[in-house]
A and B are shown apart, each in its own frame.
Chain A
Amino acid sequence: MSDDVKVLNSVVSLDYERPPTRAARRYTEAVGEKRLIAHRCPECERLYTPPKGYCPVCVVLTTDEHEIEVSPEGVLVSYTVTNPDKLHQQGGKTSARGDVMLDGTRITLMGELDGVEAADVHTGMRMRAVWVELEDGRLPSSGGWGAVGIKGWEPTGEPDASREEVQELLKKAGES
């Protein structure tokens, strides 16, 4: 019985073409110029980056006319230290990932933390975007939970935001 056929090996391989939307194309172009653009909802004024081309709260489409530039710097409001080996990730070293709330917005973007030892990471740090390099005018495929077009975040070296300021930012972000 031991040589019975117990399993079927199969590979599901499918090709997909997912053309980027206009908003996504413009965002990519901006990333190439190390600029961060967002759409501002004309009804509730919430900001979205990358621009979605709509506001999911107000159910309205947004277009080029709602595009604005936002600062690629902000405050680290949360972080985690990951051991990539344990999550089937690429690379092998311990690394830190964090949520940065962009200045003047309620947007937090997640990304790898660069230029700082994992042990030294703390909330309140001021961070700026580390941009990805475009490949043939396109963003390298990333996927996952990270921010699109931004490889990660590095400290600006400016003084930290206080714990109170961080809590205030988080509170503001949670308001409807």
Chain B
Amino acid sequence: MSDTPVPIDTVEMPYVRTLGPVISRFFTGLRDGEIWANKTRTGKVQCPPFEYDPYTGESASDDWVQLDGTGTVSSWAWVEEPLRNHLLQEPFAWCLIRLDGADTDLVHAVRVADKGQMATGMRVEARWRDERIGHLRDIECFEPA
């Protein structure tokens, strides 16, 4: 009886997450092929945007700026074997990307032909999906600019 196989128990729950005004605006922009950032009251441009200044809890300002989807890699980690939920299902780099005009970094994927092309400070640009739904995956990934 000791060799009874262990059953796999899948805990699966669907969630319909209401977004609130700020994330809603950001995701609506992504669906429309646009990247929007908002400003904290101290003028810091956050992308992705938050309802608040993460450092103080103060509400963010109502100022929004549109970014053009190009940016610079601040950090990266190369994944040779993606997990089933990863953004890309081929070898790629997770990256922190400082979009031009933003003061914070966006976490996303960068696709290059070869790991040797990856470097901190490299310039990248967003590659959009044709069919967009209002999700971070509307940007398929970033690619060298």
Contacts and interface: CB of A to CB of B under 8 A. Distances in A.
Direct contact of A and B (CB under 8 A): yes
Interface of A: 4-20, 25-26, 29, 137-138, 141
Contacts of A10: 14-15, 17
Contact of B8 (A5, A11, A15, A25): A15
B31 A5 contact: yes
B135 interface: yes
A29 B11 contact: no
Interface in B131-145: 133-135
Interface residues of B, number: 27
B130 interface: no
11 contacts: A5-B24, A5-B27, A5-B28, A8-B135, A12-B11, A12-B15, A14-B12, A15-B8, A15-B9, A16-B9, A17-B6
Contacts, number: 74
A12 B17 CA distance: 12
Interface of B: 1-2, 4, 6-19, 23-25, 27-28, 30-31, 133-135
A6 B14 contact: no
Given A9-B14, A10-B17, A12-B15, A4 B9 contact: no
Given A4-B24, A5-B27, A19-B6, A25 B1 contact: yes
Contact of B4 (A13, A138, A141): A138
